[in-house]
A and B are shown apart, each in its own frame.
Chain A
Amino acid sequence: NAGVTQTPKFRVLKTGQSMTLLCAQDMNHEYMYWYRQDPGMGLRLIHYSVGEGTTAKGEVPDGYNVSRLKKQNFLLGLESAAPSQTSVYFCASKVAGGAYEQYFGPGTRLTVT
């Protein structure tokens, strides 16, 4: 099992450009999450999904959109990138319900200039 994978690993964007980050998991997990991690801020939840076709806002959703068309994939989109979106982005997944652990991907380092 590959677990949770993320593509790309690194990306540099110019202000105003758009991009999509892809998260894939092969554990048949129902729930999936997108976080950003910034120095001094810890991990903050952007959006999450509790199943195929569903999405919901997290703590810091502004400037991001997500889609969960297939159970195994969770896409994070930036429509018009801003320097404030420079961060490391992590995807995670878990089984449905209960206080079970989330499994994290390796991260995508995004720089917006």
Chain B
Amino acid sequence: EDQVTQSPEALRLQEGESSSLNCSYTVSGLRGLFWYRQDPGKGPEFLFTLYSAGEEKEKERLKATLTKKESFLHITAPKPEDSATYLCAVQTAAAGNKLTFGGGTRVLVKP
């Protein structure tokens, strides 16, 4: 059974204080690892897809990396507008291109 675990559950940061979120996974045959951002009362918004170990992707203050067992989402010099819940999900070769999600990390950036 595919499993995805995110840590920490919640993270409080001061504006400008860089940090990292962890997503560890146990799957058979990873096809892709996805990061989403979710604001309160809204649907998840796609950020990145990572396909193989060693891959990195960046968008503004966010950088996602992937190893064979985990992914990290690094937030560099965060701003209050980076406050959100960040979700990690994996897709395997199973029928339907289904995603298995972790529980998310709630990030609060204080000014």
Residues of A within 8 A of B32 (CB): 99-100
Query: B43 and A42: CB pair below 8 A?
Result: no
Docked complex Cα distance between A90 and B43 (Å)? 7
Residues of B within 8 A of A98 (CB): 31, 97
Contact partner of B101 (CB less than 8 A), chosen from A43, A50, A56, A105, is: A43
Contact partner of B46 (CB less than 8 A), chosen from A48, A97, A99, A103, is: A103
Query: A42 and B101: CB pair below 8 A?
Result: yes
Residues of B within 8 A of A105 (CB): 43
Size of A's binding interface in residues, CB under 8 A:
27
Size of B's binding interface in residues, CB under 8 A:
24
Residues of B within 8 A of A68 (CB): none
Instruction: Return the CB mask of A90-113 against B: 1 if under 8 Å, else 0.
Output: 101010011111111111000000
A-B residue pairs, 7 tightest by C-beta: A99-B32, A104-B43, A43-B101, A99-B31, A101-B46, A42-B103, A42-B101
Query: B87 and A43: CB pair below 8 A?
Result: yes
Question: What would be 19 A-B contacts, judged by CB atoms less than 8 Å apart?
Answer: A33-B98, A33-B99, A41-B103, A42-B101, A42-B104, A43-B87, A43-B89, A43-B99, A43-B101, A45-B98, A48-B98, A56-B95, A98-B31, A98-B97, A99-B31, A101-B34, A103-B46, A105-B43, A107-B41
Is A31 interfacial (CB 8 A cutoff)? yes
Instruction: Return the CB mask of B34-78 against A: 1 if under 8 Å, else 0.
Output: 101000011111100101000000000000000000000000000
